[in-house]
Chains A and B, each alone.
Chain A
Amino acid sequence: MAEQNSLHFKTNVQLKSIIGKDLINDDNIAILELVKNSFDADAKQVFVKYLNLKTQNDLSAKISNSTSRIIIQDDGIGMNLDDIKDKWLNIAFSQKKSNTKQHNRRMAGAKGVGRFSCDRLGEFLNLYAKKADENKYVKLFIDWKQFEIEDEKKEIQAVNLKYEELTHEQFKKTGLETFDHGVLLEIIKLRSSWVYPVKDKNGKIEKWNSDKLVELKKYLEKLINPNQAFENDDFGIFIDAPEFIEENNSKEKFERFIGKVENRIFEKLDFKTTSIESKIIDGGGIILTTLKDKGETIFWVKEENEYSDSLKDITLNLYYLNPYAKAFFTRQTGVRSVDYGSVYLFLNGFRIPPYGEPENDWLKLDQRKAQGYARFFGTRDVVGTIEINDNIGLFPIVTSRTGLVQNNSYQSLTEKDGFFFKQFKRLEKYVVDGLDWDRIPKNIDFQLIESKIKSGESKDEDLIFEEDENSKQERIYSTIHSIISAKSKDVIELYINEHLITRKIEEERQNSEKEFSQLLEDFGKKKIDSDTLSRILEKKAEENKSLQKQLNEFSKYTTNEITSKALLELQDYKETIEKQSQIILDLQQELTDLKEKKELAENSVKSIKQQVKTYQKDLSLEKQKNQYLLATRKTLSSDADGLIHTIKINNIEVRDGLENIIEDLTEGSFEVQNLIERLGFLKLNAERSLKMAEFATRANLSEDIEKKDVDVVSYIKEYIDLYGKTFSDKVDFQFELNNATLNKNISVLNLSIILDNLISNSIKWNAKNILLTFHNISEKQLDLVFSDDGLGLSNDLLDNPNCIFELSIRNIPPSQESGSGIGLFYTKDLLNEMNSDITFLGNKINYSGASFKLTFETI
């Protein structure tokens, strides 16, 4: 087995530059790193003091009192010689790695390389440190150039660093202010020009440009979490540059760089904007989110933390800036909100650059907005902070100090269904759907108002919005659940602004009560109809439905006491609505009953009138009947004019018809069929005359015997009752009237002949019983089925039974009693003339014999 040898890394002297001035390439970051070290050392104050910037003699190789300097001095716990040896000089050692919290603070630094920021800032360093329990100060001097040699063999630890221990008196001689505990870094011969002179054309210095100092102040301001690390004002950063007091004082307030670095940006925004604050509390188990609008809490919700594995102690504050708020922002901070940035991330009290800086869209808000401009916020619409307190290393910082490592926790925080967007979308939905972007009216001169806000002339109460509060609140209320957008199973407790819940119902309650009392009054005065009540009922039903929906929505969540109380009011109002609905229903029923009673009365009047009419008609028919059929014999009088008229027409036809036939017979030019037809017609006329003679002996006939309004059913019944037996003693008539009736203008003469024809036809076919069945098919149509128990239609005609109504067809009865053969032909003809008809229905329909259907129609 070969001998095992060992090798080890060497730390070349140039490591210093890699982790120092080359790594930390921004002066502001360098200052920050050093300030963080003070913070971690439990300092209450840290002073950053610039000296000899105007009068420096940095061109000289030697250090003197007038060489440029930055002094960073804190009142932290300080270090003794051992601390310096074992910790400060121990590269990459950081107590913060093993002990993330000390002195009751979360550690801001973590890498153990922050101290090399001194290299970034200046060529030389004097470190003075003292612990409270030590008498002496330790002074360490570093000339960073000692490390800047290209010698591959020279290791970093080979560079000797001089230190000395100073007594109080000795320290005083340095010209620095003594301190009981803490660290003082005297960075000498600055590498960057923090100020530079502005010269006129003669080379004479006109003024000093101190913008870089202003930048530093602003940078540090942003670094400082307004809420988190420096609670109770227990950590202050102070910048001082005694040479520049004049320049500083001549600047606008927010441009001044000497003094305490403070971040008060969000302090007042709270009262002018819409904001959402979301905190992960209870050791990471619960998220408490509060949405406020212009100082008033709209809702808060306690939910289970669905990201509890990766997100523990985070506070998110987001502020929506409407145009007015943007102007106020500028007034307070001196920068336009767009130049300020958007959502900053603070880890353990210190900012993580570049997150949130202008142009930095680390949350991809602008990218998202580009996909849905009108509905989404971009970086210009919100400012805010995400504050992370992390003592278990969930959020490591990348070594270059620019951002966090994009691990699981980072994803849970920033991805689109992560913690940030969950709250961001709530704010967005509230502003977009609820406030409709809090628009300002188009017709106002916004620029004027903006300038007044910036100059402090305009106050909150001067602001004018396009929409009034009521409209906004109504919309907010209607969308509140979708704004909260919480899974009911996750919600532990919910509060919704009680005024928001009850405002609408209070207004509606007033209207409703007013409307309802008016309704009752109108009902009393009979000024309201059923339709109006239906409409009001519909409205109430809708209202009820909407309230039920609201209650259902709320019932999904556990609400806090105040919200529950408001919901009780909602429930109470719903019950009122239901009660009102019931009363309206009762009123409607009452109205319906009244209407029915009225209709009943009207119908009964109508029916009585109809009855009177019917009685009058019956009376008239009865009278006619008496006149026609029951009157005693009498001689013809002038009343019989009508009868004479008809007889005359009839006989003229008979006369002329016979003349024509005689002529034809004489000339021998005739057709038998035609002759039969014409003779049939004459026979019919003869029958009519006979019938008239019969009537004439019985009645005082009016002239309209050929045009008479009769009830067909009554007439037929009466006609058969009186004349039926005259055909044969052996025949009986039955009627099924079925309440049928048909008022028809008719020739009763022809109708009588039709009945005669049908009855005599039945008798010829051995009928003993005849049944007449009446049915109204409609108000204007009547069917009469005429059935007998005779022999029925001969079988040989059954295939085409209706041919019996033709003139050429004869169906000879068994009695051999020869008929003229024209009876049924003229029966049909006469019926057709009166817009009626006859058909053969069949044998054995009602009785064993034939059945005919007569259909009468009237106008």
Chain B
Amino acid sequence: MSIKKLLYIDDNKIPSQIDKLKRKLKKQGFELDETFINLGDEKFKKRNEDDKVILDKSKIHSFIKDEYSNEHFDIIASDYDFKDSYLDGYTLLKKLKNDSQSQKYKFRKAKFCLYSADQDQAIKKFDTPDKIRDLIRLKIDDFIKRENISEELTRIFLAPEKSYLFKEHITSYLEQYPDLIFNNVYPKFRGKKLSEIANEIDKDLPNGINFQKALVELTVAHLINLNDFEKE
């Protein structure tokens, strides 16, 4: 059974909804592996100068970075309203998405979704052209009503890929045999594990890019040779 991985961030426990999501995915042949970041937990809080308890952005950021930057997720979802004066789900997702792109976190390929129990209230925050522009640039994959989390996330999990990504295809292939050692054809990768090569490709490092090019050239050349073989 294929696994779908979800990271969700909320200040409330929503076990019934997650249970419902699991059931839905199971029916489609997927298992849900979910990770919950509970912002109700005191480890994410601090007192500000007015002695008021608020969420501690840096603690949340570094926790996610430390624990999950090297993990793959299919979806990262967050509640919009953390009932905090200084941090909401949009701000948090924006930071996570931007950091993951610039720092090449593994979860950068996940779909980023926001959900809210009160979308009307949430949308009121985007009240200037700049905020709208930021929202568009951020390319959030979906904004979901809280009561529909299980349905919407199931849909997103199961949505067919809109485009074929050669790089992702090849890295997922290589990662199926992570410990195999590569020996021939591309001298710069001689002696490397396939998982290490996948990493070079994934991180868009020069050798990773050149390797992909070489692979295409070799494959095409091989196909041409095979043509000759067929004629015989």
A contact residues vs B (CB 8 Å cutoff): 641-642, 644-645, 648-649, 652-657, 659-660, 663, 678, 681-682, 703-704, 706-707, 709, 743, 745, 833-835, 859
Contact = CB atoms under 8 A, between A and B. Distances in A.
B215 interface: no
Contact of A656 (B20, B46, B81): B20
Is chain A's binding surface mostly helix, strand, loop or mixed? Answer: helix
Report, nearest first, the 10 A-B pairs whose CB atoms are least far apart: A745-B53, A657-B16, A656-B16, A835-B42, A648-B117, A656-B20, A653-B16, A652-B147, A656-B17, A660-B19
A649 B146 CA distance: 8
Contacts of A648: 117-118, 146-147
A663 B150 CA distance: 15
A849 B9 CA distance: 43
A656 B53 contact: no
Nearest to B147: A652
Given A645-B118, A653-B15, A859-B47, 13 more contacts: A645-B81, A645-B83, A645-B117, A648-B117, A652-B147, A660-B16, A660-B20, A663-B23, A706-B12, A707-B11, A707-B53, A859-B45, A859-B46
Given A649-B12, A709-B52, A835-B42, A656 B146 contact: no
11 contacts: A649-B146, A678-B19, A682-B16, A703-B83, A706-B11, A707-B11, A707-B53, A709-B53, A745-B45, A833-B40, A859-B53
Nearest to A647: B117
Nearest to B54: A745
A575 to B, nearest CB: 59
Nearest to B41: A835
A649 B117 contact: yes
Contacts of A682: 16
Interface string B185-225: 00000000000000000000000000000000000000000
A706 B83 contact: yes
A653 B14 contact: yes
Contacts of A834: 42
A835 B84 CA distance: 19
Contacts, number: 72
Contacts of A833: 13, 40
A707 B23 contact: no
B230 interface: no
Interface in B40-86: 40-42, 45-47, 51-53, 81, 83-84
| Chain B CB within 10 A, most for which of A644, A645, A663, A834 | A645
A763 to B, nearest CB: 29
B105 to A, nearest CB: 29
Nearest to A659: B20
A846 to B, nearest CB: 30
B2 interface: no
Nearest to A703: B83
A831 to B, nearest CB: 13
B128 to A, nearest CB: 22
Contact of B51 (A707, A743, A835): A743
Contact of A652 (B23, B40, B117): B117
Contacts of A654: 16
Contact of B16 (A644, A681, A745, A859): A681
A743 B51 CA distance: 10
Nearest to B83: A707
Contacts of A681: 15-16
B176 interface: no
A411 to B, nearest CB: 92
Contacts of B23: 660, 663
B121 interface: yes
A14 B13 CA distance: 140
A837 to B, nearest CB: 13
A653 B17 CA distance: 6
Interface in B2-26: 11-17, 19-20, 23
Contacts of B14: 649, 652-653
A681 B19 CA distance: 13
Nearest to B16: A657
A747 to B, nearest CB: 8
